[in-house]
Amino acid sequence: MYTDEMRRAFRSLAGPKNFSLQIIDHDNFLTVKASENQFMSLTGEGKRSAVEYMAKVKSALELNGAIVLLVREGGKEI
């Protein structure tokens, strides 16, 4: 369950420009979804910032009682 405390924790963190995460609320856990297309369009330092941001979001949500799954969407089919 995505609580108000989790929402505040998530919104208190700032990610890199042109990169966002989507929170999906399931009954027993949260999914944090990143766009691979957004990630791949970042520079080297931007990619590092995005990974740090994802880790901080996961940690902040877990500190507020969530079970968190990080996933990505998109990208090219090989």
How do residues 15-25 score in pLDDT, each as one tens digit? 999 999 999 99
Q: Tell me the average pLDDT across 31-51.
A: 95
Query: Is 23 within the bounds of a domain?
Result: yes
Give pLDDT, residue 49: 97
Question: Quick one: how many helices (H) and strands (E) in the chain?
Answer: 3, 3
Query: Is 64 within the bounds of a domain?
Result: yes
Report the distance separating Cα 78 and Cα 40, nearest Å: 16
Which ranges of 1-78 would DSSP assign to H, the alpha helix? 4-11, 36-40, 44-63
Instruction: Count structural domains, the chain.
Output: 1
CATH number at residue 46: 3.30.70
Give pLDDT, residue 10: 96
The answer to whether 75 and 20 have CB atoms below 8 angstroms apart is no
**Residues spanned by the domain of 56:** 4-73
Query: Is 78 within the bounds of a domain?
Result: no
pLDDT tier for residue 77 given thresholds of 50, 70 and 90: low
Query: Is 28 within the bounds of a domain?
Result: yes
Q: Say what the pTM is.
A: 0.88
